Chain A
Amino acid sequence: MAYIWKEGLEQARGKGLWLGLGVLMLASIFIIAEARSFPADLGFEAMLLSLFDTNMYLVPLFSLFLASFSMFQEKEMKTAMILLTKKESNWTYILKKSLAVQIVITSAFIGAYFVLALFMKGFLAFHLQSFLHFLLITIVFLLIFNQIGVFLGTVCKTKMQLVGANILIWFVIVFLVDLVFLYFLPAITFDNLRLFSWIYFLDPIHTMRFYLETKLNLFGLSHMSRLMEKFVFMAPWKFLAINAFLWPTLFYFLSVFIKSGGTRQN
């Protein structure tokens, strides 16, 4: 609890969280306003998908920076050293810190979306179930990228290194992975499709979008070709659950095992 309280105070006093929330809300409000011109039938759902497409750029960036800097600050301010020498093992320290980061940042972003829900309700035909699917996706999104941020904050030794690592990871996940997919696409055949499918759906951004599209009725899973049926061999929620468990767990253990000795001054 002390960790969560401390994290909450630090994040609230910092500017990063407010800047992140501000940018996210501003972008979202304009998307909501634009969605008023969508055909009414699934206009709300199409707006949520547009919102996700914007989140694809913003959420990983803010989440990585906020989580990694929070972790790095513990080293920089020597609080990590005090905690580790007094009562915490490396395992428990990173676990508690991760939980605190996850709870504080996720709560802040979810809170912002509840405020945005007022705008959505005001301007569009609000569908609670669709909104809850969107919130679930946002939570998974933050869960994964916060944990990657915690990992980067743990392993980087200088602030410059950390900034570089954050931007690099963001670029790789948002842009580079899909570019690689596109260049390998001609090599995908019916025979190696299962392998491709696993790789595709282990990219959390792919899975989250696919889950959202199907749950919002913006992508039908009926009348698919044989290729597509083999490609979607498992229900989208199962892929989502795998991603939500796999990546945070993996990066937690990586943070524990690839720990840095501390910080170096730039």
Chain B
Amino acid sequence: MKRMITGITLIIMAILGAQSVQAAETNELQELIDNTPEKGVLELEAKTYEGNVVIKKPMTMKGQKGTKIHGDKKANVVEIESDHVTLDNMEIRYSGMSRSSDEEYSGVRVMGNHTTLKNLTISDSYHGIYLNRTKENTIQGNKITGHGTEVLGNQGYGIFINRAGRNMVKDNYIEKTRDGIYVEYADNNEIVNNTAVETRYGLHYMYSNYNIFEGNHFNRNVGGAAIMHSDHITLKDNTFSYNQGSRAFGLIIQTSRDIHVLQNEFHLNQRGLYLEQSTSNLIEKNDFFHNQIGVEVWASATAHTFIKNAFYKNNTNVLAVGGESNNEWFKGGVGNYWNTPMLDLNDDKIGDSPFENTSSLSTLVEENELAYLFLDSPAITIYEKTNELLSNDQVMAIDKHPLMSKEKQIKPIVIFISIIIAGTLIFLYRKGKLPWLTFGKKD
């Protein structure tokens, strides 16, 4: 009898306990979500709601200025398990940050299709937005902030697209996360007009094919974008600038093929474009300006075609490291702009003689990483000239049809400054303040 009473008591306590846990887990926002009809719109007030919440039906959750959802730092703040869910205009913070949990948590985890996430501000989360095994979602106009480069290992990605296809990622601003946008086993995504700053890689593709990547901006990252083990990708009209550091690059293409790098700008990077173990990529109409190394090609990168690219004021335009490889620097009678004076007697806008880009730095760079420290040194010019005289230099690129440099128009500001300076000098000279300008005239 005693046993029976004890058993019944335990069962009742267990039921009551479960109910109380359930009650604790239910919060105001979850109740609001649960009470919203399917395909309904839940308009949130300008206040802070407690997370975490799960959305299991098609609906729209709309915030306003001051709407915040704060997680309990133990799980995903907002988990979307249904198709056709929209989140708009709210701030989301405090997901779980544990790396030893069953899953990597995020500000918003999307597992349904046709989800729209727009105008969200996400911070203090492991991943910002995590698309997992889903498709045809739109991620637009969100701002995601990580914890900074000092703690990269303890945090995740701004936007993590994992085994998710046909998504549109547009107009997002991501800073200080591990990688800005990380795409893994995800095909046919469009990544347009996003900005990633102060991350490890602004964009990181792994095993993802047939993606379009257009109009994005990558500044001050360790690497602007990394395309690895991914094929058939178009990168167009992106800017890669100020990606500086001993191992930094604007764009790395590694173990990938059929990548079309079109009309991008590579400005002031340690290396503009870095090619390794990849093949059959087309590098076309890009602008390489003021980089330490414009293009660094390792011998394992083969059958690349470079046409109509412009190289201006890079310390080294092209560095072929590790030996010769069969990359083409012209195609169909069209090469690249090298910003080097050359003859064009028949006025066909193609240089009359082939352009040979030579350098003796490749061996140094190959042997010792510290060589990068000297690429800005005034001594580099002498080093290159000396090796040229001693025939120690190597051919980095041969362009049989170099394009004539575009005539650069003199900017009005330069004309204005020149006139001011010349005028001042003439005035001073005529006033007799600069008698030493006349040779032989004594004071």
- Residues on A close to B: CB < 8 A? 15, 26, 29-30, 33, 36, 38-39, 41-42, 46, 53, 56-57, 123, 174-179, 181-182, 185-186, 188, 196, 200, 206, 209, 213, 217-225, 227-228, 231
Contacts and interface: CB of A to CB of B under 8 A. Distances in A.
B427 interface: no
A175 B376 contact: no
A98 to B, nearest CB: 27
Interface in B356-390: 364, 367-371, 373-374, 376-380, 382-383
B386 to A, nearest CB: 8
A66 to B, nearest CB: 16
Given A39-B242, A186-B364, A213-B244, A222 B149 contact: yes
Interface string B141-152: 000000001101
B394 interface: no
Given A46-B242, A185-B371, A222 B383 contact: no
A225 to B, nearest CB: 6
A222 to B, nearest CB: 4
18 contacts: A53-B376, A123-B413, A176-B379, A182-B364, A182-B371, A182-B380, A185-B371, A196-B370, A200-B373, A213-B244, A218-B242, A219-B246, A220-B244, A222-B149, A225-B369, A227-B369, A227-B370, A228-B246
Nearest to A15: B436
Interface in B393-420: 411, 413-414, 417
A56 B378 contact: yes
Interface of B: 149-150, 152, 197, 200, 219-220, 222, 239, 241-242, 244-248, 265, 267-268, 290, 364, 367-371, 373-374, 376-380, 382-383, 411, 413-414, 417, 421, 436
A219 B369 CA distance: 15
Contacts of B149: 220, 222-223
Contact of A174 (B152, B247, B378, B383): B378
Given A178-B377, A182-B383, A41 B150 contact: no
A193 to B, nearest CB: 8
B367 A30 contact: no
Given A46-B242, A218-B244, A185 B383 contact: no
Given A41-B241, A185-B374, A222-B245, 7 more contacts: A36-B411, A42-B268, A46-B268, A178-B379, A219-B246, A224-B245, A228-B247
A175 B367 contact: no
Nearest to A200: B373
Contacts of A29: 417, 421
A220 B220 CA distance: 8
A2 to B, nearest CB: 26
A225 B373 CA distance: 14
Nearest to A226: B369
B420 to A, nearest CB: 9
Contacts of A179: 379, 382-383
